[in-house]
């Protein structure tokens, strides 16, 4: 497999500084080296240039730092689109989760793409429903055509109108939703597999169902993995931790099943915050999960009768 690493040192969409150092932390944890050890050909394409605002230039408090974020996401969308056109698999290193609006918009340019959004949060707010105005809580809504016009399809960018069919979106392991997000997710028709679904049916069945939703799209699926989906005891280095997250093995099984589907066209690894971390362990975990998503196995286990198809 030909893989492009794309760093996005962006923290303007978040309410806490530090995730701009996430790409460096993930690189330091050995992602390129470990992917090459699996037999992949890896090109580190460097970082997208992040447009930095003047100090204190927040802009509209309901859409904090909108203009520089959109400029950055526009660049990212172009790089992801070019990577896919070249027959490569983009792996995007974040950075806060607002970047997924850029990566997935690039993937969806002239393509029908499904989305697996694996996250403790819904990221389905709009300026009208967001308690904070932080854009990292809005990208999935914008991808589904809901919210601020400048965000929806990255209107005005070079790859404008790259929206996603909400019926091809699966939100997995969410455990914290704002009231407005609940209503908007239901109205849009996004399939939500919250933590209680995993508790009831297990990660295997959950991911079989979620992958089927994203796989309904013609041209494959994009996986957007927020490290705060993990339990904070396992992944302390995130900006918005929520108790009751995934275990180490649940997370690995989830991305192992993604790899088995052979339908993933690209991957986000987001919200790694080295300031909050302990010995870079969250970045190391991000690398380990990326390896499982891209084919690493201890042993090729036989398929069970409840096969994901």
What strand order describes the sheet that includes 41-47? 41-47, 2-8, 89-94, 264-270, 221-226, 114-118, 169-172, 191-193
Q: Which of 20, 119, 148, 256 is catalytic?
A: 119
Query: Of the listed 4, 271, 277, 288, which one is catalytic?
Result: 271
20 given a catalytic annotation: no
Q: Considering 109, 136, 168, 252, which one is annotated as catalytic?
A: 136
Angle between helices 99-107 and 66-85 (to 10 degrees): 30
Name the catalytic one among 96, 109, 121, 181: 121
List C-alpha distances in Å: 237 to 23, 25, 120, 192: 13, 10, 14, 25
The yes-or-no answer on residue 228 being catalytic is: yes
At 304 the three-state DSSP class reads: coil
Q: Per the residue annotation, which of 4, 74, 148, 228 is the catalytic one?
A: 228
Q: Give the Å distances, CA to CA, from 245 to 22, 196, 301.
A: 20, 11, 26
Per annotation, catalytic residue among 11, 74, 123, 277: 123
Please check whether residue 64 is in contact with residue 17, taking contact to mean a CB–CB distance below 8 angstroms: no
The answer to whether residue 109 is catalytic is no
For the stretch 66-70, contacts whose Cβ atoms lie closer than 8 Å and that sit 24 or more positions apart, written own/partner, are: 66/135, 66/148, 66/150, 66/151, 68/12, 69/10, 69/12, 69/13, 69/98, 69/135, 70/150, 70/151, 70/154, 70/156, 70/157
Active site residue 168: no
226 is catalytic: yes
Given 97, 109, 168, 252, which residue is catalytic? 97
Buried b (16+ CB within 10 A) or exposed e, 69-105: bbebbbbbbbbbbebbeeebbbbbbbbbbbbbbbbbb
Contact assessment for residue 99 and residue 76, using Cβ atoms and an 8 Å cutoff:
yes
Concerning whether 136 is annotated as a catalytic residue, the answer is yes
Q: Which residues of 227-249 are buried (b: 16+ CB within 10 A; e: fewer)?
A: bbbbbbeebbbbbbbbeebbeee
Q: Kindly list the catalytic residues.
A: 97, 119, 121, 123, 136, 226, 228, 271
């Amino acid at each position: 497999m030909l893989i492009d690493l794309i760093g996005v040192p962006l923290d303007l969409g978040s309410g806490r500084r530090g995730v701009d150092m996430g790409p460096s932390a993930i690189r330091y944890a050995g992602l390129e080296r470990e992917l090459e050890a699996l037999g992949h050909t890896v090109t580190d394409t460097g970082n997208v240039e992040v447009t930095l605002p003047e100090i204190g230039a927040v802009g509209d408090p309901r859409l904090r730092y909108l203009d520089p974020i959109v400029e950055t996401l526009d660049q990212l969308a172009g790089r992801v689109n070019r990577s896919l056109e070249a027959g490569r698999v983009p792996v995007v290193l974040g950075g806060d989760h607002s970047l997924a609006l850029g990566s997935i918009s690039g993937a969806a340019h002239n393509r029908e793409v499904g989305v697996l959004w694996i996250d403790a949060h819904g990221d389905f707010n709009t300026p009208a429903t967001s308690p904070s105005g932080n854009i990292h809580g809005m990208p999935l809504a914008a991808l589904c055509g809901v919210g601020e016009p400048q965000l929806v399809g990255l209107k005005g960018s070079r790859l404008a109108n790259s929206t996603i069919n909400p019926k091809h979106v699966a939100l997995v392991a969410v455990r914290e939703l704002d009231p407005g997000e609940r209503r908007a997710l239901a109205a849009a028709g996004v399939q939500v597999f919250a933590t209680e679904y995993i508790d009831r049916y297990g990660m295997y069945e959950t991911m079989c169902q979620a992958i089927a939703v994203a796989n309904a799209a013609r041209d494959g699926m994009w996986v957007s993995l927020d490290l705060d989906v993990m339990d904070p005891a396992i992944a302390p280095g995130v900006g918005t931790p929520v108790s009751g997250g995934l275990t180490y093995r649940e997370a690995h099984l989830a991305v192992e099943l993604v790899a088995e589907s052979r339908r993933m066209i690209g991957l986000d690894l987001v919200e790694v915050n080295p300031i909050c971390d302990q010995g870079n362990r969250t970045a190391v975990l991000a690398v380990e999960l990326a390896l499982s998503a891209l084919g690493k196995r201890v042993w090729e286990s036989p398929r069970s009768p409840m096969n994901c198809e």
